[in-house]
Amino acid sequence: MTEQNKMDNTLQDSGGNLIRKRIAGAKLTAKDRLALEYIMKNQETACFMTSAELAKELEISASSVVRVSAKLGFESFSMFRRALQEELARERQKDKKQIPYERIKDYTDLSEEELITAIKGNVLRNIERDQTAADYNSYHKAAALLAGAAKVFVVGFRACAGFAMSLNVMLGCVRPGVYAVEGSRPLIDALVDLTEEDAVVLMSYERYSSETAFAAKMARKAGSHIIALTDKYTSPLCAGAEAVILSSTDGLSFYNSYAAMVMAMEVLTGLVSRRNKEQNEARLMKMEEYLRETGQY
């Protein structure tokens, strides 16, 4: 039985609040409880940190962090981290967000000039909210995964389908082996051959695409590296993700605002390009030669 299947069985058997149930029944030292107190209070970020990163934050050894997860009955630290992620994903069911036709009421009293000003101001606020040290760390992780993967699959459906195609083109200019999965071919056909050497970029925002959530499940079972571009840590895309890049999508129209996500796409492409500078220059020069010859650009 694979580690992924063991984790799935554990979650199915234990139901909600798995971690807290195990903490209550475990024999823990005072030092163990201090570590767990930090993890549970900061669950949204801690569940995406490595044992080394948590150890640095807690000023203890990485082996101490791993031992805490073992005392809770997890066979590995990665299974402990996955359980934290799954509990957060279940909590998202409690969140309520206005559906599109309800949001229309929020701006019916504005003039067209006021609406233009309000939407532009909202876009700028969304971008500013996404500039934090934690986001920078996520960008570094994601860029390393994208640069080092054998193949990269960019998954997005509905409103994110076009963005998946755009990111596919952008990344495809700076590295080979990038594929868009956006509904032009069956999802299962596109991802059935995923391996541990591949990276999968998942793009979806509330209300989340069930197809993208299923793609996340396929990536987890394959052991692929997962990069989630979404709006909150409780998104179903985040379970099993090694890098999570959050973008604020609050909008004044009936639809989400995706400007912050587009910024994230540009940052990721720039970082990946920088990591493969020599290869990129040769690749882009070759592409430019053909583009000039065909006039297709």
- Each residue's pLDDT tens digit, 206-261: 889 999 999 999 999 999 999 999 988 778 898 889 998 988 887 766 678 888 89
* 168-221 per-position pLDDT tens digit: 999 998 899 999 999 998 999 999 999 999 999 999 998 899 999 999 999 999
Please check the confidence at residue 14 and state whether its pLDDT lies above 50.
Answer: no
The length of the chain, given as a count of residues: 297
Amino acid code (one letter) for 194: L
Residue 48, helix vs strand vs coil: coil
CA distances in angstroms from 207 to 20, 63, 234, 256, listed in the order given: 28, 39, 12, 10
Structural domains in the chain, sorted by start? 3-92 (1.10.10.10), 108-294 (3.40.50.10490)
CA separation for the pair 26, 16 (Å, rounded): 17
Smallest Cα–Cα separation from 235: which of 258, 209, 274? 209
Highest mean pLDDT among 4-13, 52-61, 133-142, 160-169: 160-169
- pLDDT category of residue 93 using cuts at 50, 70 and 90: low
Most confident of 111-125, 139-153, 257-271: 139-153
3-state DSSP call for residue 256?
coil
Per the prediction, the chain carries an average pLDDT of 82
Q: Please name every residue paired with 181 in a beta bridge, in sequence order, or none if there are none.
A: 155
Q: What is the spatial distance between Cα 217 and Cα 238, in angstroms, rounded to a whole number? A: 11
Mean pLDDT of 79-86: 85
Model pLDDT, residue 294? 83
User: What does the alpha-carbon distance between residue 65 and residue 61 come to, in Å, rounded to a whole number?
Assistant: 7
Q: Which amino acid is at 1?
A: M
> What is residue 219's predicted lDDT score, i.e. its pLDDT?
97
Between 115 and 49, where is the model more confident? 49
pLDDT band at 116 (very low <50, low <70, confident <90, very high): confident
Strand partners, 178: 152
Residue 157 has pLDDT above 90, yes or no: yes
pTM exceeds 0.75 for this model? no
pLDDT of residue 130: 63
Q: How far apart are CA 97 and CA 115, in angstroms?
A: 21
Q: Are strands 199-203 and 225-230 parallel, antiparallel or unpaired?
A: parallel
Helices (H), the chain: 3-14, 18-25, 30-41, 43-46, 51-58, 62-71, 77-91, 100-103, 112-129, 133-148, 161-174, 187-191, 210-222, 259-275, 277-294
38 contacts 46 by C-beta, under 8 angstroms: yes
pLDDT in tens, 3-12: 444 444 443 4
Tokens of 64: 């101490």
pLDDT score at 81? 86
Q: 53 — phi, psi (to 5°)? A: -65, -40
**Residue 202 phi, psi (nearest 5):** -105, 130
Residue 47 has pLDDT above 90, yes or no: no
Model confidence at 92: pLDDT above 60: no
Strand pairing report for 178-181 and 199-203? unpaired
Q: What is the model's pLDDT at position 34?
A: 86
Query: Hey, what are 281's tokens?
Result: 């220059």
- Residue type for position 237: L
Reported as a pLDDT band with limits 50, 70 and 90, residue 95 is low
CA angle 40, 225, 86 (to 5 degrees): 30
Tell me the C-alpha to C-alpha distance, in Å, between residue 54 and each of 41, 66, 89, 248: 13, 10, 21, 26
Q: What is the pLDDT of residue 134?
A: 55
Radius of gyration of the chain (CA): 21
